[in-house]
Structure 1
Amino acid sequence: MKRVAWITDSTTASFTTEGDNFVIPIEVIIDGVSYKDCEDGVRERVYNALNEGKTVTTSQPNIGEMVELFSKCKEEYEEGFAVAISGKVSGTYQNMKLAADMAGFPLTVLDSETTSYPMDELIRKAKSLYNDGMTLQDIHKTLVDEKRRPFHVFPKSLKGLYASGRVKGVQFLLGSLLSVNLIL
């Protein structure tokens, strides 16, 4: 069995950097100050900033840091499998592919078309299928089919989604006025 690096970005809920697991941090920007998502205390800063009405945005991971990571992975692993945040909200998926090419690291990248908890499940499922003997290409095909099943997210508040531009003004206004929770 080939040695595989398992990679995702920090929008996953609980994927750890233990063993063959790697997490690429996204940039979190609070009132113009940039932080790495994986730094200690950043998530608490985000929650506090949102509660205080500060502007919080994110930016995709630095491509140079991805090239550096994939170059290191190339030394220890024969190939890699990555699950990226939805390509509809971030360029991370495309940049993972580009960075892997630049590093010369064979990487299969899955566009999760989602974020957070479902990404955790996709990467765990990929690892399980690999341990059962599937190739990374077959795992990719299986997960592409599997992720088509609906998964609903019920945000407690629309503030963060509105501030980041994920929810338009009219949606935010109507949702807030009518106390309607969106299903994402």
Structure 2
Amino acid sequence: MKSIAWVTDSTCTIDPEFARDHHIYIAPLRLVFGDECYKETIDITNDEVYQKLALHEKAGSSQPPIGEFVELYESLKDKYDEIIAIHCSSKLSGTYETSMQAAEMAETKVIGIDSNVGAFPLREMILKGVELQQQGHSALEIKQEIQYIIDHMEFFLIPASLQQLHRSGRVSGTQLVISNLLKIHLIIRFDKGKIIVQEKIRTFKKAKQKLMDYMKVDLEKMKSICIMHANNISEAKEIEKEIALHSPLLKVEIMTFIPVVGILAGEGTIGLSWINKYTK
């Protein structure tokens, strides 16, 4: 069995202890509040993120510096037979491209995977990859299997605030103005790595019901489902109860969003993601 190192970023939500035990190296994204910069999940907690959001109008995020990746690849290239780098969507962050450039600079052979997403689905891709590696599969075989997950996952968001999404260029000014004037809630969906506006709905209750409707379409073919929230556990538990009414045996997980999502979409944001069963 070949030894494999995994390189990813802090959007993966992998437990640090699991990462240490399974050769997963996590490069933290940066969170920026005014002139202050923090390493996501390392220098700042979720609670501190929302405290700072209340104080700073100017908040944002940035990818890990290329030098950090170069140093990491230099340290890994002689320790492992193969290296897999899997990162959050390249359509939303430059992290994947930076990681690949760093591997080239470090003269390190890397199998790169653009996950087209982040959070729960990215974590599941890595967990599946580790399982396959333990079964003796090569890095290329693992990449192929992960591509099946990429092609069969869904990810929806109801952002609590569009202001930050607008500032980051992920929601247009027209969408922001109309939503504010009419108090419209947007349902956002990941589509091949990009964020698209799936629906515009007048009330949060109706938006949440629409989210349930999308879920019901795939209910019979789901492998698992995850409810994600940005400091909104009460709403997440309500959604969990509703899912249980439709499919009491389905595995449901509640996950706190990584801080960068709270910055981009606002405190209170709710997300729903699942991976469908597939045949090769």
TM-score class, shorter-chain normalisation, is: 0.7 to 0.9
Number of positions where the alignment pairs a residue of Structure 1 with one of Structure 2? 184
Equivalences for residues 48-63 of structure 1 within 5 A: 48-52=51-55, 54-63=57-66
Tell me what 2:131 maps to.
Answer: 128
CA contact (8 A) 2:2 2:138 kept: no
Output the CA distance in 2 between the equivalents of 1:179 and 1:53: 25
Give the TM-score taking structure 2 as reference length: 0.60
Q: Give the residue type in structure 2 aligned to 1:11.
A: T
Pair 1:34 & 2:37 matched = yes
Give the TM-score taking structure 1 as reference length: 0.88
Tell me what 1:83 maps to.
Answer: 86
CA contact (8 A) 2:6 2:84 kept: yes
Q: How much does 1:73 deviate?
A: 1.1
Output the CA distance in 1 between the equivalents of 2:173 and 2:99: 31
Output the CA distance in 2 between the equivalents of 1:179 and 1:46: 26
Percentage identity across paired residues of the two chains = 30
Q: How much does 1:61 deviate?
A: 0.9
Tell me what 1:11 maps to.
Answer: 11
Pair 1:143 & 2:130 matched = no
Output the CA distance in 2 between the equivalents of 1:127 and 1:93: 20
In structure 2, the CA distance between the partners of 1:103 and 1:15, relative to structure 1 (3 Å rule), is farther
Q: How much does 1:86 deviate?
A: 0.5
Gaps of 5+ in 2: 190-280
Output the CA distance in 2 between the equivalents of 1:183 and 1:136: 32
User: RMSD in angstroms over aligned alpha carbons?
Assistant: 2.0
Pair 1:109 & 2:106 matched = no
Output the CA distance in 2 between the equivalents of 1:61 and 1:45: 20
Tell me what 1:66 maps to.
Answer: 69
Could you give the per-residue CA deviations for residues 119-176 of structure 1, whole angstroms, max 9, x where no partner exists?
Answer: 1111111111222222111211222232122412223413442343322222233344
CA contact (8 A) 2:34 2:56 kept: no
Match of 2:165 among 154, 161, 167: 161
Output the CA distance in 2 between the equivalents of 1:151 and 1:138: 23
Which protein is bigger by CA-based radius of gyration?
2
Q: Secondary structure at the match of 1:153?
A: strand
Q: How much does 1:77 deviate?
A: 1.5
Could you give the per-residue CA deviations for residues 76-100 of structure 1, whole angstroms, max 9, x where no partner exists?
Answer: 2222112111010111111111111
Moved more, 117-126 or 174-183: 174-183
Q: Secondary structure at the match of 1:119?
A: helix
CA contact (8 A) 2:165 2:171 kept: yes
